[in-house]
Amino acid sequence: MVPLGPGPLSLASLRGRVVVLAFWSQQHAPNPPVVLEAWHRKYAGRGLRVIGIHDHTGIPEALARVRDSAGITYPFALDSYGPTVAARLPNSMTAGLYDAGAGDAALVDRTGVLRDFGSLADAAVVERLERTLMAWLAPEGALAPEPAGPVPGRPVPGQPAPTLEVASWVRGEPVNGGPLTEADLRGRVVVLHFSSAYVEVFGRAGRSGAGFPLEQITRLYGPRGAMCVWILPTADGSEEAQTLALRAVAEVPIGVDREGATYRAFGVSTPTENVVLDEEGRVWVAGCSDFQVFRTVKELLVARGFLRY
């Protein structure tokens, strides 16, 4: 395990840092939400400490395997035994003090004051926490979703989106009962989600719904003009991969890329990336992560009059 240092961990020793305490349980899916690792990598150098707190029944060797398989670099700690606490995490003292269950997170400010709390399975909570972390920790100018200039290989924001080169649709009947066409995307804010089915199902097993953020965006913003489309890489064209994709999300069109053409056209090279299109089929953001896409979609819906803050 990543060491926390000698002696028991206390929040008093973390004064001066922003702290996210994330609670988990051996009785639930083993991998914590991937957004925690994203926050750690993005903000650790600016004063954030993410700490995963496992219920007291956790086995260090098992947690180490979870850490290694999921690529987690923030530290874990085992909670202390608390015999009076049994409702949400089994007999865990710290979880009992926060009335926390598996998947809950607490945000503590630099002075040691609890400022926010909620479930990371709730898209609105994730968006709210991310917005607070950006306000507290991001340097000036870091809120812009795009870099100062165009990224080589990516479409330029404001230009028409490249053609979707889809070899086949695993699920693609969201509008007219037939295969999804680009005409079906017009008039909607569209999230193109580029990711492997194996990444979603196995690499993100700890989230409530492996298709994060697709199902949450569809549920929250679908009635207000948003739509998500999952583009699988060409290598995921096998029946096994398509079955995994269907298990991962519901009510989201899923297409298999045609020999890498769509990935190349949108300049996508990372394992999980999102491209946001406006209602006229133009590129709004050429690439953003899972935890940025909520804010991006919401801002675009507000700007276009589909949604009010």
At 205-253, the pLDDT tens digits run 444 444 467 888 888 899 989 999 999 988 888 888 888 888 888 888 9
Question: Are 62 and 26 in contact, with CB atoms under 8 Å apart?
Answer: yes
pLDDT of residue 211: 46
Query: Model confidence at 173, in pLDDT bands (50, 70, 90)?
Result: low
Question: Are 287 and 268 in contact, with CB atoms under 8 Å apart?
Answer: yes
pLDDT of residue 98: 83
Task: Answer with the one of 137, 156, 178 that is the final residue of a domain.
Answer: 137
Same domain, 114 and 236: no
Residue 208, domain member (yes or no): yes
Domain range spanning residue 54? 11-137
Same domain, 178 and 110: no
Same domain, 177 and 120: no
Residue 1, domain member (yes or no): no
In this structure, which amino acid lies at residue 203? G
Q: How far apart are CA 166 and CA 66, in angstroms?
A: 35
Q: Is the pLDDT of residue 145 over 50?
A: no
Residue 271, domain member (yes or no): yes
Residue 4, domain member (yes or no): no
List pLDDT tens digits, range 43-79.
888 899 999 888 777 677 777 776 776 677 888 877 8
Q: How far apart are CA 23 and CA 94, in angstroms?
A: 9
Average pLDDT of the chain to the nearest whole number: 78
Closest CA relative to residue 26, chosen from 117, 102, 134: 102
Residue 250, domain member (yes or no): yes
What average pLDDT score do residues 175-185 get? 67
pLDDT of residue 271: 62
We report the CATH number of the domain holding residue 32 as: 3.40.30.10
Residue 291, domain member (yes or no): yes
Q: How far apart are CA 291 and CA 199, in angstroms?
A: 16
Residue 100, domain member (yes or no): yes
Sheet holding 166-171, edge to edge: 166-171, 254-257, 226-232, 189-195, 272-277, 283-288
**∠42-48-50 over CA atoms, to 5°?**
90
Question: How many structural domains are present in the chain?
Answer: 2
Query: Model confidence at 178, in pLDDT bands (50, 70, 90)?
Result: low
Q: Is the pLDDT of residue 175 over 60?
A: no
Query: Model confidence at 143, in pLDDT bands (50, 70, 90)?
Result: very low
Q: What is the pTM of this model?
A: 0.54
Residue 71, domain member (yes or no): yes
Q: Poorest-confidence range of 40-54, 79-93, 126-140, 198-212?
A: 198-212
